[in-house]
Structure 1
C-alpha cells in the first residue's frame, strides 16, 4: 500500500484568493474526477429511509465513449469532440494531438479568426508569458547598457569612476515591470466595411484534432470504469476485452516475435505495457492524475487535481525488478532501467526535477517469476495481482539548506 496520497484540502491565507475568478471557473468545469457520474434522485421519504440504512438511490451515468486502436502510434484515438471533451474534463485523460495537453486546436483557430476574442487557450497564455519574459529581458538589458554608457561618459568627461548599477529605479525588475500593449499587437485588421463583408473563400472550421489516449489510460477506462469502447482500426468493430488485452501487449513486442496465427503465445511477464500499467493503475487508484513525464526525463508525473490547477509535484521513474534473475537473462526484451543504473543517471534526473520543484520517486515494480506461474494466467488481467510496487523517495542533498 502506498503512503503517497494526494492532499486535496484547499489552502487558506491570502494566496487562496489569487486568480479567484479563473480558479472558480476551473472548479466548475473540472468538477468531476472521473467520467462516471453519480446522480442523486430528488429527496423523498423512501430516500430518507434508505439513507438511514446506509443505502442510496443514486444512479450511475456512463458516457460510453468510443476510441479507435492505432497499433502504429501505440495509442487509442478518440475522434468525436464530445467524447474528447468528457474524457479530458473528467479526469484529464489523454492529450490533444495538435495541442500541448488540452485539445484546444479548434478554440485557437476560432480566436485567430475573431479579432476580439477574449477567451485564451493554454497555448496562447503560454505564448503571451514567453513574449512578456522575452521583452522584459530586452528592456532590462537596454537599461543596464544605458547605465553603463552613462558611467563611461562620466569617466571620459569628469574622470570619476562609477560602478554601473544592476538594480535601482532606472533598472526594471520582475516585480514592477509591466508589458506594453505593442507586444500583443495583431496584424492590421481590415476596415469596418471590409470586415463586414462576407468572405467567400473562408471555409467553416472543422475540428480535425483528436484526443490521443495512451494504452494505459485506455485500458484503465475500459476495464475499471467501463466507459470506453475500443474499435478495431481494420473493420471499425468493437474489440472484446480479451482482444484488447492481447493487442495492447503485442504492440510492445519486437516485430520478429509477432505471428498472425496466435499472438498470445508470445506474451511475456516483463512486457512494457504490463509494467507501465501496474504503476498507472496504482497511482490512479490512489486519486492522483497520472500524465506522461517524458518532458522531465521520467516516466510519469503526478498531479493532485490536474494540470490546469497546479504543477506536478511528483516525478516517477519506473525500475523493473525480476523476481527470478534467470528470467532477465533469458528474456528477449531489454527493459529500460532493469539493469543497475549509474549514479550519474540518478543525479541527472534528480537535478532536472529538483530545478522544477518536483520530488523524484523511484518506483520498483517486481516482475513475478515464470517458474511459478503459467502462460494461461498472463492471458487475462488477473495476472496483475502478481505484480508489486515499492517506492523510494529521492531528494537532492544541499549542504547549505540541510545542515541540521
Structure 2
C-alpha cells in the first residue's frame, strides 16, 4: 500500500522512525500490558485504562488511545476506542476488560457488546486490525469525514498519508450508504485532497461467515483500493504537449 509517500514533519524524523520501528514498539507495549496485568473499564463504545508510567509511555509512543489529563501527578488514564480495546484484547492478547460493575468480559462477551453498541463494528475492526498489523498507526478520521486516518509512524513525526473509508463488500452494504453515487466520491476526494491525503477505501467481505463470534474475523477478507483525482493536464509519460503540437494534431 504505497502511493504518495510520507510527509515528515522534520528532517531528522525519518531517522528517528527508522531507529524505533513501530513493530518493535508494539511488541514492547504487548509485554508491558501483560506484565502490568492491565485492565480497562468498559463504558459504552470506549474503555478507560489505568496505566503505569512505563505503560503510559509506550501507549503514547505507539499512539494507542488518548491520554486524559488528571490532577494527580502519578496517575495515567487513557481513553481507548472500541477498535483499540478489542485489538489489545483479541490481537495482542494482553488486556483484560471489565464492565462498569467490574465483572470481567471474555472476548465473546466483549465482541457482543461492541456489536450491540456499533452495528458496523465487525467491518470497522477488521479494517483497523488489517492496517495495524501492517504497522500503520490508525487514528479516528471523523474530522475528515472518513472512518480512520493512517500514519506511517507516530503522528508527531509524520503527517497521515491516507484517509480511510470502510465499506462492506460482497453484497448489500447494510451499514453505510456512502459512495453509492458519484457526488459522494467527489466530496470524499475533494476533502482528502485538500488535506494532502490519498483516499483509501477498504472493502471488507464477510464471505458468508457468522458474525456472532470473533472467530469470524479469520474468514473476513479485505480489499484495498486507492482512489485519486486524475489531472487531465498531466500526460502519462510526464511530458507536456506544446500548443504548436496541439494545433498540428487537430
TM range (shorter): 0.7 to 0.9
Counterpart in 2 of 1:353?
192
TM-score by length of 1: 0.50
Asked if 1:85 is matched to 2:85, the reply is no
Asked if 1:76 is matched to 2:47, the reply is yes
Are residues 24 and 395 of structure 1, via their aligned partners in 2, closer, same or farther at CA, if it must alter by over 3 Å?
closer
Are residues 5 and 397 of structure 1, via their aligned partners in 2, closer, same or farther at CA, if it must alter by over 3 Å?
closer
Partners of 1:316 and 1:362 within 8 A in 2: yes
Whole-Å separation in 2 of the counterparts to 1:220 and 1:62: 17
Counterpart in 2 of 1:313?
161
Whole-Å separation in 1 of the counterparts to 2:108 and 2:30: 28
Are residues 24 and 230 of structure 1, via their aligned partners in 2, closer, same or farther at CA, if it must alter by over 3 Å?
same
Report the 3-state secondary structure (helix = DSSP H, G, I; strand = E; otherwise coil) of the residue aligned with 1:79: strand
Are residues 402 and 298 of structure 1, via their aligned partners in 2, closer, same or farther at CA, if it must alter by over 3 Å?
farther
What is the number of residues matched between the two proteins?
A: 234
Q: Where do 5+ consecutive residues of structure 2 fail to align?
A: 238-250
Query: How big is each residue's C-alpha offset from its partner over 1:52-82, in whole Å with a ceiling of 9 and x where there is no partner?
Result: xxxxxxxx974432211001xx111113453
CA shift, 1:244, in A, is 1.2
Q: Where do 5+ consecutive residues of structure 1 fail to align?
A: 40-59, 98-104, 107-204, 253-270, 329-333
Asked if 1:244 is matched to 2:110, the reply is yes
Counterpart in 2 of 1:64?
37
Counterpart in 2 of 1:337?
177
Partners of 2:29 and 2:59 within 8 A in 1: no
TM-score by length of 2: 0.77
CA shift, 1:87, in A, is 2.1
Whole-Å separation in 2 of the counterparts to 1:228 and 1:19: 34
Are residues 239 and 345 of structure 1, via their aligned partners in 2, closer, same or farther at CA, if it must alter by over 3 Å?
same
Whole-Å separation in 1 of the counterparts to 2:133 and 2:213: 20
Higher relative strand content: 2
Report the 3-state secondary structure (helix = DSSP H, G, I; strand = E; otherwise coil) of the residue aligned with 1:34: helix
CA shift, 1:25, in A, is 10
Counterpart in 1 of 2:72?
206
